[in-house]
Amino acid sequence: MTWETTALVIAVTAPFVTAVLIFALGERRDAARSGVNLAGAALTVAAVVTAAGAAVAGAPDAYPTAGIALLDIGFGLRADLLGVLFAVIAGVLWLITTVYAIGYMSRASDRARFFGFFSVCVGSAIGIALSANLLTFFIFYETLTLATYPLVVHSGTPAALKGGRTYLTYALPAGGALAVGVVWLNLLTGPVEFAAGGSLDPALATTHPGSLVAIFALLMLGLGVKAALFPLHGWLPAAMVAPAPVSALLHAVAVVKAGVFGIARVVLEVYGPLGPELGVTQALAVVAGFTIIFGSVRALAQDDFKKRLAFSTVAQLSYITLGVALASPIAVAGGIAHLAHHAAMKITMFFTAGAVAEEVKAYRVSEFDGLGRRMPLTMAAFSLAAIGIVGVPPVAGFTSKWLLGIGSIDAGSGWVIAVLGISSVLNAAYFFPIIHRAWFRTPKPEWAHGPAAGRPEGDMRMIVPLVITAAIGLAMGVFAGMDLSPASWAQTIAGWEFPW
Amino acid sequence: MSQTDLYTLVGSALFVIGLYALMTRPHLLHKVLALNISSSGVFFVLVGIARRVGGPVPDPLPHAMVLTGIVVTVSSTAFALALAKRIYTETGTAALDAADVDVGESLGG
Amino acid sequence: MAEWIARQLPALVVLVPFTAAPLAYLLGTGFGRQIALISALLSQPLAILLAVTVVREGELRYEVGGWGGPLGIDLVVDGFTAVMVLVTTVVGLFVTVYALGYFGNRERYRFFWPLWLFLWGSLHALFLSGDIFNLYVCLELVSMSAVALVGLTLRREALVAAMRYMLAAILGSLFYLLGVALIYGAFGSVDMQTLREVVRSDTTGQAALALMTVGLVLKTALFPLHFWLPPAHSNAPSPVSAVLSALVVKGSFYILVRLWVDVAEPMAFPGVSTVLGVLGSTAIIWGSIQAFRQQRLKMLVAYSTVAQIGYLFLLFPLVTGGGQAAADAWMGGIFHAVSHALAKSAMFLAAGTVLARFGHDRIDGLGGLSRRAPVTAMAFGLAGVTMMGLPPSGGFVAKWQMIRASIESGEWWWAAVVVTGGLLAAAYVFRVVGPFFGREVDDLDDADLNAGPSPWTMESAALVLAIGALVLGIVGQPLLDLIMVSAPALVAGVTP
C-alpha cells in the first residue's frame, strides 16, 4: 500500500474511529473527548489533503484507490479530483466546526452522543466523496441518512422529534428509490464505476432508452431529497430544530452537498453524454431552475432566521445542480465551484445564527435591529457571506455565478441567465434587510454600547470559527484565479469530465 | 386395494381425526390425546409401507422409524401432560384460553 | 491430532454441545454455567474450521459410527449447512455470555443451561442431517427443548404460550413425518442424496411435499400460521427469545429450502413457490403493521420476526427463475437468515436488558433511554438498521440480492415488497428508537430486581451482535462465497 492509498483509507476511517472513541469515552470526560475529536479531525484533514495532493498530481488512471470484494461491484474508494474537492471541504470545515461545537455545546446535555454521531456523519460524507462506485456511494449515503437523525432530534423536545420524523419521511423512501435505481443500473450495465466522461455504454441509449430514463428518475428521486430539489425539499426547513453546528456543517455542507455531489457523479461520471442525449439532464435543469426561484421566494417570507437560511440553501443547492445539468464545461465548473463557495459562506451564516442565539437569544430577523453594535465581528462576517451569496464581487459567490452565466450561454440555455438574474435580486431582497437592520437600525438600549466592557462579544470558540470561514469565503473569491482555488480546480475537473 | 393402500388410508383418516379434535377441543388433555391419535395415524402409514417391498420379510427401515417415532411421541406426550398439569395448577383451567372451558368439562379437577 | 480433528469435525460440532448438556444438568447451576461457556467457546473454532474446510474441499460427508446409509446416519456439510452452523455458534456464544449475567446463579433457572445446550446441539444436528427422517427427529429435539425454555420462568403467560407453541410444533412435525412416510413409500429412500436422483413429480410425491411444506410452514410461523410465535417469543426469558427468533425458526426454514431448492427441485412447481412468496409478502406487510401497533417492546420485536420471516420466503419464487436470478435469490435469502439472526438476537437481548433493569418494557415508557442506558439503546438502534435493510448492514446486502433477483427475473413486484417492507420496518423501529432521544420519562427508574447481574456483559453482548449484523454488509463477501459452496444444481454454476 502506497502512502497515498494509506492516506485515502485513513481519510475515510479516521472519523469513524473518532466516533467509536467518543462513544467509548462517555458523557463525563469532556477534555478527553474534545482532544480526541480535534485530533481525529486534524488527522482527517491531513489525510484528505495528502490524498488530494496525489489526485492533483496524478492523471485519472493514477488516482489512489483501495477496496475489498463485495457483491459483484466491490466496496471501493478512490481519490479523484472531484471527490477530493468535496472531501477537503468536508474535512476542513469539520475541524473548524468542531471548535465551534465545543463552545456551542458546552452547556448542552448528551455531548458524547452528539459528537459521536457528528463524526459518523462527517466520515460518511468523506466516504461519499471518495467512493469509487455507486454501491460504495450508496452505502455511505444511507449511513449519512441514519447518522444525521440523532443529531436532528438532539434536543429531545417534541418539536425536535417531529422534525426528525419529517426528515425520515423524506429520506427513507428516497433511499428505497435510490437502492432500486442502483441495483437496476448495475444489472443493465454491469458494475457501475465512476469515470470522468461517463461510464455507460453509449449503445444503451438506443437499446434501453426507457430503462435508462426510469433509472435516472429513481436516482434523482433518491439524491434529490438531500439536494433539496423541489418538491423534495420539505425536510430541510423542518430539520432546523437541530443544534447550530448541525445546521451549519450538515445542513449547509455535508448532508445537502452529498445530494448534489451524488447528482454530479451520476450526471457527469455515469450518464455522461447519454444525459443530454436522453433529454434527462434538460429536465433536471428545469427542476433546478424552478427550485432556485422557489427557494428564494420562500426565503423572503421567513422571519425565523434559520428558516430563512434554510430556504436560501434550498435555492443555492440548485445552482450546483443546475450547473451540473447544463452539459457545458463552463457551467459545470461554475456548479462545482459553487459547491465550495456556498459551503464557506453558508456555514458562516449558520455559525452566526448559533452565536447570536446563544449570546443574545435572538432567533428572528425582526429581533436583529442594531445587532451589529452588540456583535460587530459576528455580523461583519455574516454580512460578508451574505454579499457573497448575492453574488457581489469580490466574494466567492460572484465567481461561481459568473461561470454559471457564461456556461448557460455556452450550453445554449439563455433562460438560465434570467433565472440567475431574478434569483440574485431575490437573494439581495432577503439578505440585505438583515444587514440593514443589524447595522443601520436603532439598537435596543442594552446593545447600544457594544459588548460589556472588557468582555468579548460572545464565546470566542464560536466567534473565531465564523470569522475564519468568512475569510475563507472571501479568499476563494479574491484568489479565484490562482491554481488551487476551488474555481480553477472546478475548471480542471470540468475539463476532465468533457472528453466528448 | 393393496394392504399398503389400506393402511395408508386408515392412517390418514386417523391423522385427520386427530387434527380435527386438536382444532375443536379446548381442553388440553383432549388436545394432547388428539395429537397422539394423529401420530398413531402416521405410524400406521409407515408400518403399511414396510409391506410394500413384497416377499416374506417386510422392509425393516419403516419399523425402525416407527420405533423412533414412538420414543419421540412418548417423551413429548409426557412433557405435554406435565405442562398441561402445571398450567392447571397456575391458572385453574386446563385450556389455553380460560374462556374456552366451562367447569363441567374441566377434567383436571 | 490436527488431522483427526479435521476428519471428525462434522461429528464434533454436534457432540460438543450434546456432551455438555447432560454434564450441565448433572453438575447443577454453578458448574452448568461454566460448562455452557466452555462448550460455547469450544464450538467457535470448530464451526470456523468446518466453514474453512468446506470452502477448501467442498461438500463433506460423515458416516456416524461408520454405519453408512441406509440404516446409519450420515452427516452432510455443504456451504448452506456451514453458514447455518457458523451463525448458530456465533449467536450462541453471545447469548451464553448474556445469559451468564441474566440468570446469574439463581437456582430456579438451573435448567436453562442443559436445555439451552441441548437446543444448540439439536440445531447443529438438524443442519448437518443428511436424511429427511433424521431431520424429523432433530426437529422434535429442537422443538421440545425450545418449548421447555419458553416455559422456564413458570409464569402463567409463559406456560400458556409454551403449550400453544408445543401443540403447533408437534402438529407441524407430524405433518412433516407423514410426508416423510409417503416419500419413503413412493421412492424407497429417506437419504437426500439418493432422493435427489429418484424423485419424480407424481401424485404421491406432490402430496408428500405438500404435507411437509404445511408442517414446516407452521413451524416457521409463516403468515397466517404465525399465531403461536408472538406470545411464545415475547413471554420467554430474553436469552431464550433471542435464540427462538434468531435460530429456531431458521431450523424449519432450512429444511424447507433443502426440500424445495435442493432435493425435490424437479417436483417444484411455480404455483406453489408463488403461493409461498405471496404469503411471505403478506407476512412482511402484516407483521410490520402489527409490530408498529404493539405496546410492549418484546411483542414488537416478536412481530418483527413474523415480518422478517416473510423475506425468507421470497427465496422460493425468486429462485425458480434459474440462472443468475436463482443464485442471487439463494444468496439473498440465506444471507437474510444470517443477518436477521444476528440483529434479532441483539434486539431481544437489548429488550431483555431493559426489562431486567427497569422492570417493564412498555414502549411509551422508554423515553430518554439513550441517556439512561446508552449501550443498550445503541444496540437496539443498530440492530434496527438491519431490520430496515439499510447499508452498511447485512440486511442491505440480502435485500440488494433479492431486488436484483426480482429485476433479473422480470418479477419486479417482489422488489416493491422488499422496499415497502424496509420502510414499514423503519416505521416500527423509529417508533421505538425516536423516543430514546426524547425527554426522559419517569418510568426509567432502576428496578432493583435481582442480585448480581453483570450488566456490562449483557449490554456488550447485545451491542457486539448488533455491530456484527451492521458490518456484515461490508465484510460479508466471504459468507456469500461460503453460501455458494456446493450449492444445489438449480443455483450452482453461477458465481457471485
DSSP for A171-182, written as a single string: HHHHHHHHHHHH
* pLDDT beneath 50: ranges in chain A: none
Residue corresponding to grid cell 436522453: A278
CA proximity to A191, closest of C484, C311, C400? C400
B87/C164 CB distance under 8 A:
no
State the best of B53, B65, B93 to mutate against chain C, taking most chain C CBs within 10 Å: B65
Identify the DSSP state of C447.
P
Cα(A467)–Cα(A211) distance, integer angstroms: 49
CA proximity to C300, closest of C359, C343, C217, C361? C361
B61/C177 CB distance under 8 A:
no
DSSP helix/strand/coil, C233: helix
Higher pLDDT, A440 or C310: C310
Q: Would you state the cell numbers that stand for residue B53, as one nine-digit string?
A: 417391498
CA A112, A115, A118 angle in degrees (round to 5)? 140
CA proximity to C313, closest of C209, C417, C393, C397? C417
Q: Rg of chain C over CA atoms, in angstroms?
A: 21
Q: CB-CB: which of B8, B38, B91 is closest to C156? A: B91
| Dihedral Cα A203, A61, A92, A378, nearest 10 deg | -50
Residue B101 banded pLDDT, cuts 50, 70, 90: very low
Residue C265 has pLDDT above 80, yes or no: no
Please give the average per-residue pLDDT across C456-483, as a whole number: 93
Shortest distance, CA B28 to any CA of chain C (angstroms): 9
**CB-CB contact of C83 with C482 (8 Å):** yes
Q: Note whether C touches B: 3 CB pairs or more under 8 A.
A: yes
Residues on chain C touching A139 (C-beta within 8 angstroms): 391-392, 396, 473-474
Residues on chain C touching B80 (C-beta within 8 angstroms): 163, 166-167, 170
Q: CB-CB: which of C71, C163, C177 is closest to B87? A: C163
Amino acid code (one letter) for C418: V
The residues, ordered by sequence, that sit 6+ positions from C3 with a Cβ below 8 Å of its Cβ are none
A186/C404 CB distance under 8 A:
yes
Please give the average per-residue pLDDT across C460-485, as a whole number: 93
A176: closest chain C residue by CA: C419
pLDDT of residue A122: 93
Tens digit of pLDDT for each residue in A247-257? 888 888 889 99
Residues on chain A touching C404 (C-beta within 8 angstroms): 183, 186-187
Evaluated on CA atoms C17, C212, C185, B21, the torsion sign reads: positive
**CB-CB contact of C49 with C82 (8 Å):** no
Residue C272 has pLDDT above 90, yes or no: no
CA proximity to C352, closest of C246, C228, C442? C246
How deeply is A347 buried, as exposed, middle or buried, from its count of CB atoms within 10 A (0-12, 13-18, 19+)? buried
DSSP helix/strand/coil, A59: coil
Cα(A451)–Cα(A464) distance, integer angstroms: 16
CA proximity to A267, closest of A310, A227, A207? A227
Shortest distance, CA C296 to any CA of chain B (angstroms): 21
pLDDT of residue A317: 93
Please give the average per-residue pLDDT across C421-438, as a whole number: 92
Please give the average per-residue pLDDT across C428-452, as a whole number: 72
Residue C456 has pLDDT above 50, yes or no: yes
Residue C368 banded pLDDT, cuts 50, 70, 90: confident
Averaged pLDDT score across all residues of chain A: 89
C474/A161 CB distance under 8 A:
no
Residue B105 has pLDDT above 50, yes or no: no
Q: Which of A204-213, A324-333, B19-28, C261-270 has the lowest mean pLDDT?
A: C261-270
A68/C496 CB distance under 8 A:
no
Residue C74 pairs in a beta bridge with: C63
Fold of B3-98: Helix Hairpins (1.10.287)
Residues on chain C touching B86 (C-beta within 8 angstroms): 151, 154, 159
Q: Which of A118-127, B97-106, C250-259, C357-366 has the lowest mean pLDDT?
A: B97-106
| Residue numbers of A between 67 and 126 with CB closer than 8 Å to C | 68-72, 75, 109-110, 112-113
Cα(B94)–Cα(B64) distance, integer angstroms: 35
Residue-range domain boundaries for chain B: 3-98
Cα(A270)–Cα(A283) distance, integer angstroms: 17
Residue C457 has pLDDT above 80, yes or no: yes
Tens digit of pLDDT for each residue in C108-147? 888 999 999 999 999 999 999 989 999 999 999 999 999 9
Residue-range domain boundaries for chain C: 279-496
Residue B46 has pLDDT above 80, yes or no: yes
pLDDT of residue C117: 96
CB burial string C176-205: b at 16+ within 10 A, e below: bbbbbbbbbbbbbbbbbbbbbeebeeeeeb
Identify the DSSP state of A156.
-
The residues, ordered by sequence, that sit 6+ positions from C279 with a Cβ below 8 Å of its Cβ are C217, C222, C223, C224, C310, C313
**CB-CB contact of C283 with C223 (8 Å):** yes
How many helices and strands in chain A, by DSSP H and E? Answer: 21, 2
Q: How many C-beta neighbours within 10 Å does residue A498 have?
A: 18
CA A156, A158, A160 angle in degrees (round to 5)? 60
Evaluated on CA atoms A333, A337, A339, A342, the torsion sign reads: negative
State the best of A111, A146, A170 to mutate against chain C, taking most chain C CBs within 10 Å: A146
Residue C69 has pLDDT above 70, yes or no: no
Q: Would you state the cell numbers that stand for residue C199, as one nine-digit string?
A: 424423485
Q: How many C-beta neighbours within 10 Å does residue A366 have?
A: 12
Please give the average per-residue pLDDT across C332-344, as a whole number: 96
CA proximity to A224, closest of A253, A196, A185, A266? A266
Residue C495 has pLDDT above 50, yes or no: no
**CB-CB contact of B42 with B72 (8 Å):** no
Q: Would you state the cell numbers that stand for residue A462, as one nine-digit string?
A: 464560536
Cα(A148)–Cα(A246) distance, integer angstroms: 9
Question: Distance between alpha carbon A357 and the CA centroid of its chain, in Å?
Answer: 23
Cα(C115)–Cα(A59) distance, integer angstroms: 64
Residue B107 has pLDDT above 60, yes or no: no
